[in-house]
Chains A and B, each alone.
Chain A
Amino acid sequence: MRRETKRKVRKWMLVICLLVVACFYIYPVFLMVMNSFKPFGEIIGDVLAFPKSFDLSNYTYVVDKMKYLLLFRNNVIITVIGILGIVVFSSMAAFILERREGNYCKIAHTIIITPMLIPFQAIMITLLKSMNVLHLSGSKIGLGIQYWGFGIPMATFIIFNFMKTIPRELDESATIDGASTFRTFVSIIFPLLKSVIVTVIVLDVMWIWNDFLLPLLMVNSNNETKTLVLAAYTFVGQMNTKWNYALTAMVLAIVPSVIVFILLQKYIVEGVVAGAVKG
């Protein structure tokens, strides 16, 4: 009995310690959100105090000034285009390269996955020039398409490894029944890839949605094509020390991802773990 109580006390101590650590950990985020509801004078007066009144005027100002809805739409368009291409082209390549044999497959596989070793910043200068030539810079669709090239190596690698676990008898019997390769891929293989595709989507949505450097290089010149994070970066830069508007813009920039995370926590954490372990 005494050992039991001792264990309980220790567990409570642990929970309390964790609670304290977690509060300190998340306090900066809390402080940002809280201050975004204050007028400028109150932030300067006392950063740590609660807002004196619940006031949304910062938000109405910033949403309007930043063209928040336009930015949100841009982000959705870019992310959707990026994800669609990555998923379709990577799963097609991973499927055929894992199933077929021969030198072509080995070489193609190496060509596709090797760029995982190239850090983006090592090619960004000449990338900008190449994309200007290909007319892929300066537009949302072009930016979305560029993510295909950057996302495919990792996605193909993950899906290729997963393909190994799908028994070959499945597609062989489909072929015997007269299904074409394309048909076999679409109706037999692709549905079986569901779990690994979810992993790829989670990783790539988090990456593309929050990406900063590529949009900075490609779509920064025009206000109509900016992404959420990019516009927030510019906006905070312009607001300099007007923290009330800057903080509001920051909150608005992260709110979509936080909401999605709260709703889909389980899937996101699972996807991130699976992606890291396989990648």
Chain B
Amino acid sequence: MSRKAKRQLETVLFSLPAIILVCLMMYLPFVLSGYYSLTEWNGISKEARLIGLDNFKTIFVESGDFLSSIWFTTRYTVFFVIFSNIFALALAVALTKRFRAANFFRGIFFIPYIMSMTIVGFIWKFIFTSGFEKLYEITEWSLWNYSWLGDTKLVFYSVAFVGVWQSLGFYIVLYIAGLQAVPKDVLEAAVVDGATGRQKFFKVTLPLLGPSFTTCIFMSLTNGLKVFDIILALTKGGPGTATNSVTLQIYKEAFTNNNYGLGSAQSIVYFLFVLIITQLVLKGFSRKEVDL
């Protein structure tokens, strides 16, 4: 065997396991979803009946369930991106000030992030029901007496709030890393030039945080679009369909209603939805970053 052929063989052998595994777990199901989206299939029978684009017609024209789940996911994601980034940035700024317990505080804010999201959902279910009940008894503020998980309007804020609460620590540590990477000499130069504390923050630190913003907003965007565990534990999508995220909708369509074909079609639409939004946001951001 020639040396070149041997090298080529090595290249293939080293990369083949990864390629095969990725193909089996990701590409194969993805292609199958494409096929089954064109069928009517209950998941049990051997034969799936080809019905063309009827499933997509059901999604966009006949049934409002999927579109309303897209709408919920969009609102959830917007809320989640805005509030997790604002709070995380504010706390990160406070936590980069020099004091002894800073590391301890960072740890506290990070703890919900290392917990399973399912458990986080249950914790808040407990707080929203038993905890709030007691608080109302003590304070008699009507705030505690609202039906935070039972009212179709309020439940959105409850779910979104729990989402932010769970992952805030993650974005805090990302912003802290970004803040610490802002060069000290630039900040000193700003002070020498007579910048006030506020000007220093808004005119120097914030623009230089560009890469952190991109990372955090992108991560919170994809995580928001994928929300599942928290909602399943907290409300199961209810009351009614008030907190039905796309992921939950796909799950129910396939595994509760046994409409695997329709569920596959929803998966494909969901994939395109996520792809388009993330690419648009990424493009928008890569243009705005400031270089030093």
Interface residues of A (CB under 8 A from B): 11, 14-15, 17-19, 21-22, 25-26, 28-29, 31-32, 35, 43-44, 46-48, 85, 89-90, 92-93, 95-97, 100, 102, 104-105, 108, 111-112, 115, 117-127, 129-130, 134, 146, 148-150, 152-153, 156, 181, 185, 206, 210, 212-213, 217, 229, 232-233, 236, 243, 246-247, 250, 253-254, 257-258, 261-262, 265, 268-269, 272-273, 276-277
Contact = CB atoms under 8 A, between A and B. Distances in A.
Nearest to A96: B14
Contacts of A277: 174, 177, 211, 215
B115 interface: yes
27 contacts: A14-B94, A14-B97, A15-B99, A17-B94, A18-B105, A26-B111, A31-B126, A43-B130, A48-B131, A85-B21, A89-B21, A97-B11, A117-B275, A123-B29, A125-B36, A125-B254, A134-B24, A149-B21, A181-B7, A206-B114, A210-B117, A229-B119, A236-B233, A250-B122, A257-B116, A268-B114, A272-B170
Contacts of A35: 126
Interface string B115-127: 1111100111011
A149 B11 contact: no
B162 to A, nearest CB: 9
The 3 A-B residue pairs with the shortest CB-CB distance, nearest first, are A149-B25, A96-B14, A126-B32
Given A14-B94, A28-B123, A229-B119, A100 B11 contact: yes
A95 B101 CA distance: 41
B256 interface: no
Given A92-B15, A118-B26, A250-B122, 7 more contacts: A29-B115, A92-B18, A93-B18, A119-B226, A127-B25, A129-B29, A229-B119
A38 to B, nearest CB: 11
A47 B25 contact: no
A105 B11 contact: yes
B112 A111 contact: no
Interface string B13-27: 011011101111111
A119 B271 contact: yes
Contacts of A97: 11, 15
Contact of B22 (A17, A25, A115, A181): A115
Contacts of A130: 24, 28-29, 32
B131 A31 contact: yes
Contacts of B209: none
A254 B28 CA distance: 34
Contacts of A118: 26, 30, 271
Nearest to B268: A122
A90 B18 contact: yes
A24 B24 CA distance: 46
B245 to A, nearest CB: 9
Contacts of B111: 26, 29, 258, 261
Name the prevailing secondary structure of the A interface residues: helix
B33 A125 contact: yes
B34 to A, nearest CB: 9
B117 A212 contact: yes
A88 to B, nearest CB: 8
Nearest to B115: A254
Contacts of A46: 134
Contacts of B79: none
A89 B226 contact: no
Contact of A272 (B22, B97, B173, B233): B173
A232 B118 CA distance: 9
Contact of B29 (A89, A95, A127, A276): A127
A112 B19 contact: yes
B141 to A, nearest CB: 15
Contacts of B225: 119
Nearest to A104: B11
Contacts of A246: 122, 126
A121 B226 contact: yes
A173 B275 CA distance: 44
Nearest to A17: B94
Most buried by B among A48, A119, A213, A243: A119
Contact of A112 (B15, B247, B255, B268): B15
Nearest to B7: A100
B142 interface: no
A205 B103 CA distance: 23
Given A29-B112, A115-B26, A152-B21, A93 B15 contact: yes
B10 A243 contact: no
Interface stretch (B49-57, B60-68, B259-267): B259-267
Contacts of B27: 115
Contacts of A269: 106, 110, 173
B251 interface: yes
A271 B15 CA distance: 25
B229 interface: yes
Given A14-B97, A120-B226, A148 B127 contact: no
